[in-house]
Chain A
Amino acid sequence: MTAPLTERTAGETGDDQPSVLLDGVSKTYGQGRNAVPALDDVSLSVRRGEFVSLLGASGCGKSTLLSLVAGLDRPTAGRIDTRGGKIAMMFQEPALFPWLTVSANVEMALRVRGVARKERRARAAELLEIVHLGGFGARRPHELSGGMRQRVSLARALAQEADVLLMDEPFGALDAMTRDLLHDELERIWRERGLSVLFVTHNVREAVRLGDRVVLLSSRPGRVAEDFPVGIGRPRVIDSPAVAGLASTVTERLRQEVLRHGR
């Protein structure tokens, strides 16, 4: 298929095999004089089972990047290769279907694959248990709190049994305590399932807390500015000195990026 795939030797472990590969990806919205360059020549890879945090100032093209990877939009130039893997996505809002119960929302991911009704029920119940919403399957989304809805959304994404999970600031609107708990949950689920995660945020500590790497995007147009490996052992604590230390380095770099536009 593609060069990197043929180079891989048979006995190699899948660990450094990218499950998402962006090669020179550019995206321009609009045409002619109104063209907005959102992304410019972004190259990035997420290895299988890797957790990559994507960080950048507001409007630098993070959501655009995820949309492209999810296939919701096409790049203007460049190549995106997801190795035929299935992709799930969590949006900034829960994006639940208001006409369905919580359980039926989760089941939508199974329905599309033609899973029988009875099995759908059972699987949805299991997944809701995983996100600690066991007793809430019969509720309607609007009856839950914001954090609970985001967990339903996570359960729905997990139901897709995808190889890659894209998350667009999923916890941006939550209070700190709920967010910390969801970080623990997400980390646990990610490890258990061997997911590859691309996690967008503009909270630097969150990025460091969760990521194996933190990729910093520059603004206008979005480019990869720097790629920080996070060598902190897990489980991590968001307020620990190690996380805070790296976070301040990343913040400093982000500040330089923003200042570049101040002039």
Chain B
Amino acid sequence: MAADRTTSAEKAPDVHARQIAGLDALELGGAAGRPAGRLWSGVWGRLWPMLLAAGIVLALWQGVVWSGRWPEYVFAGPAETFGTLGERLSTPEYWQAVAVTMRRAVTGFAVSVLAGLVVGALVSRVRVLRAAFGSLITGLQTMPSIAWFPLAILLFGLTESAITFVVILGAAPSIANGLIAGVDYTPPILLRAGHVLGFRRLRLYLHVILPASLPSFLAGLKQGWAFAWRSLMAGELVVIIAHQSSLGERLYYDRELADSAGLLATMIVILVIGIGIDLLFETADGALRRRWGLRQARD
């Protein structure tokens, strides 16, 4: 018994440290580094379902064309459409139209982010504003953006400002809402931890609440982008500005000229840009989840 007591009482510190290190190593055992080649298999794993889906859509498309429901000059097939797409992509004018649309999208979205941040921050922090505008912002999200155009055109005429106005109204509420939801759902335990550490009011907001709402904010950005892109396309179809070709304007004239292949080609471009940017958001979201440990090892 005496011997027993001395061994435990005189547990040398480094033995203690080693014992702890040993337990730690055991507990971390499962979390070995990712095997090499994982990146490529990850990319391929995501790529092939997309290719498969594209293949099925093309087959269906060709099938409908062959069925003869519509004459070929009204509904062009894939081969003709991609031919036209190739031709258009080889002209600088078409790239200029894409550039104009992208410029509008980026500026409109940037302003939306700014507006969404400011409004979201104010509404989530100031109780009176919250009561007044909280449900209004949610309500704005349900408003179809095309319904804003008559007003926008009255206010700004047939100008780019009218389009930007509607893009912002389409995107900003989602972005603000993402931030507000993130603030609302900040885990109480983190708030308490921040409070105990000595963070109060604005500092608590900046150092704890805002970072904690990042995932929700990112989801809001993603949704905001989708709304911005839709509003922009609607706007470019409605507001045709002379000497400034854009993707929406191309769609409009292709329909006027009954250029079925050109119309479908432009639609493909619009779809691809939308998907591409959505993938960017998805990647950012995935990276965030990995950093925060919100994602399972295998999914």
Contact = CB atoms under 8 A, between A and B. Distances in A.
A72 B196 contact: yes
B193 A95 contact: yes
B196 A70 contact: yes
Interface residues of A, number: 41
Contacts of B197: 108-109, 112, 156, 160
A227 interface: no
A92 to B, nearest CB: 9
| Chain B interface residue bracket vs A | 20 to 34
Interface stretch (A15-23, A24-32, A177-185, A204-212): A177-185
A186 interface: no
B291 A140 contact: yes
A224 interface: no
Contacts of A160: 197-198
B190 interface: yes
Interface string A98-128: 1110000000110111000000000000000
A112 B190 contact: no
B21 A132 contact: yes
B28 A145 contact: yes
A135 to B, nearest CB: 9
Contact of B199 (A112, A177, A240): A112
Contacts of A143: 28, 31, 293
Interface stretch (B11-19, B80-88, B120-128, B222-230): B11-19
Nearest to B10: A235
Contacts of B211: 97, 99-100
B66 to A, nearest CB: 54
Interface in A152-194: 156, 160, 177-178, 181, 184-185
Nearest to B18: A132
B192 interface: yes
B11 A184 contact: yes
Contact of B23 (A70, A112, A181): A181
Contacts of A237: 5, 8
A98 B198 contact: no
Contact of A140 (B16, B21, B196, B293): B293
Interface string A134-149: 0000001111111110
Interface stretch (A3-11, A83-91, A213-221): A83-91
Given A93-B189, A95-B190, A178 B23 contact: yes
A156 B293 CA distance: 20
B203 interface: yes
A112 B20 CA distance: 31
Interface string A225-240: 0000000000101001
A112 B203 contact: yes
A142 B207 contact: no
B27 to A, nearest CB: 4
Interface in A38-53: none
A140 B28 CA distance: 13
B192 A95 contact: yes
B292 interface: yes
B193 to A, nearest CB: 4
Contacts of A113: 198
A89 B196 contact: yes
B211 to A, nearest CB: 5
B214 interface: yes
Residue of B8, B20, B189, B208 with most partner-chain A CB within 10 A: B20
B147 interface: no
Contacts of A178: 23
A142 B290 CA distance: 10
Contacts of B207: 108, 111-112
B27 A91 contact: no
Contacts of B212: 97, 99
B256 interface: no
A97 B11 contact: no
Contacts of B23: 147, 177-178, 181
A136 B5 CA distance: 33
Interface in B106-155: none
Contacts of B196: 70, 72, 87-89
9 contacts: A70-B196, A71-B195, A88-B196, A91-B193, A96-B193, A97-B211, A98-B293, A143-B28, A181-B23
Given A112-B207, A143-B293, 9 more contacts: A67-B192, A97-B190, A97-B208, A98-B291, A132-B21, A141-B293, A145-B27, A181-B20, A237-B5
